[in-house]
C-alpha cells in the first residue's frame, strides 16, 4: 500500500482574511497548484479540512482534525491516523498554501521515506534503516520544513503522547522518532527553497507569490 498525499487545510486563514488556499496565484488557485504537484508523486490524495465544503469541488476524500484546535500538528495527526486505519505506511504532507511546491523535492521525500531503498544507512540513527520522518532543512526559523515532509505511521504514538501532554508544537516530538533531515545542500540541488517553501499567510505574501509567478512566466 502506498502513502497518502495529505493536504493540510484545517487552518482558519485569520491573517489572510479569507480561505487562503482558494486565492489565485498566476491565474490558478493555490489549492489546485498543490493538488497538481502532490498528485504527481502520490496516487492517492486526501485533504484534512475542518470546513470540507470549501474543497468539495476537488473531488478528494476529506476529513476534519480528530482533535480540534491543535494547529498543523493536529492535521498531521489526523492524516496519519487515517493512513494507519487504511493500512497505509504513512503520508507525504504539505500545507494547502504553498503555491510553488517542488516536484523533485516531494519525490525525494517520498522515496527516502517509502521507496524501496529508503534513507541511506545512518540517516535515521546509528542503526540505519528506514526513518520515521523525512523533513527538508531550510533557512527558516525552525531550520526544517515540517509542512513539506514525509511521515510514517510510526510517528503516531509520539505525536499522541505530545498532544496528550498539551503540547502542539509541530516539531516537538522529533526527539522521540527517527528523523532524517534532508541536508540543505541537497534541498538546494532540487529546488529554490525560498520559492518552494513560500507560504501564503497574508495578502502581502500572495502579492509576492503573484510577482514570482509572473517572473516565472516571463522566462
Residue 17 pLDDT greater than 90, yes or no: no
Residue 28 pLDDT greater than 50, yes or no: yes
Across the range 135-146, mean pLDDT stands at 95
**Using 50, 70 and 90 to split pLDDT, how confident is the model at 18?**
confident
DSSP assignment of 35-100? HHHHHTT-SEEEEE-SSGGGGGGGT--EE--SSTT-HHHHHHHHHHHHHHHTT--EEEEEETT-TT
Across the range 190-214, mean pLDDT stands at 94
Structure confidence at residue 125 (pLDDT): 43
Residue 186 pLDDT greater than 80, yes or no: yes
Report CA 217 to chain centroid distance, whole Å: 25
* Residues 47-96 pLDDT 10s: 999 999 999 999 999 999 999 889 999 999 999 999 999 999 999 999 99
Residue 23 pLDDT greater than 50, yes or no: yes
Handedness of CA 54, 55, 61, 64 (dihedral sign): negative
| R_g (Cα) of the chain, nearest Å | 16
Question: Which structural domains are found in the chain, ordered by start?
Answer: 4-218 (3.90.550.10)
DSSP state of 115: S
Cβ neighbours around 69 below 10 Å, total: 10
Which triple of cell numbers denotes residue 129?
534503516
Amino acid at each position: 500500500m502506498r502513502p497518502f498525499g495529505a493536504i493540510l487545510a484545517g487552518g482558519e486563514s485569520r491573517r489572510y482574511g479569507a480561505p487562503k488556499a482558494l486565492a489565485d496565484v498566476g491565474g490558478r488557485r493555490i489549492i489546485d497548484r498543490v493538488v497538481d504537484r502532490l498528485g504527481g508523486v502520490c496516487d492517492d490524495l486526501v485533504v484534512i479540512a475542518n470546513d470540507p465544503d470549501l474543497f468539495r469541488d476537488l473531488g478528494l476524500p476529506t476529513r476534519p482534525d480528530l482533535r480540534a484546535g491543535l494547529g498543523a500538528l493536529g492535521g498531521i495527526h489526523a492524516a496519519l491516523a487515517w493512513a494507519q486505519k487504511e493500512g497505509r505506511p504513512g503520508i507525504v504532507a504539505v500545507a494547502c498554501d504553498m503555491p510553488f511546491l517542488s516536484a523533485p523535492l516531494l519525490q525525494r521525500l517520498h522515496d527516502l521515506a517509502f521507496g524501496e531503498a529508503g534513507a541511506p544507512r545512518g540517516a535515521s540513527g546509528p542503526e540505519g534503516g528506514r526513518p520515521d520522518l523525512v523533513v527538508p532543512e531550510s533557512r527558516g526559523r525552525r531550520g526544517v520544513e515540517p509542512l513539506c515532509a514525509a511521515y510514517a505511521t510510526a510517528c503516531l504514538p509520539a505525536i499522541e503522547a505530545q498532544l496528550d501532554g498539551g503540547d502542539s508544537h509541530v516539531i516537538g516530538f522529533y526527539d522521540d522518532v527517527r528523523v532524517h533531515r534532508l541536508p540543505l545542500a541537497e534541498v538546494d540541488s532540487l529546488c529554490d527553497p525560498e520559492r518552494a517553501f513560500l507560504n501564503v499567510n497574508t495578502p502581502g505574501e500572495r502579492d509576492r507569490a503573484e510577482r514570482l509567478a509572473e517572473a516565472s512566466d516571463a522566462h
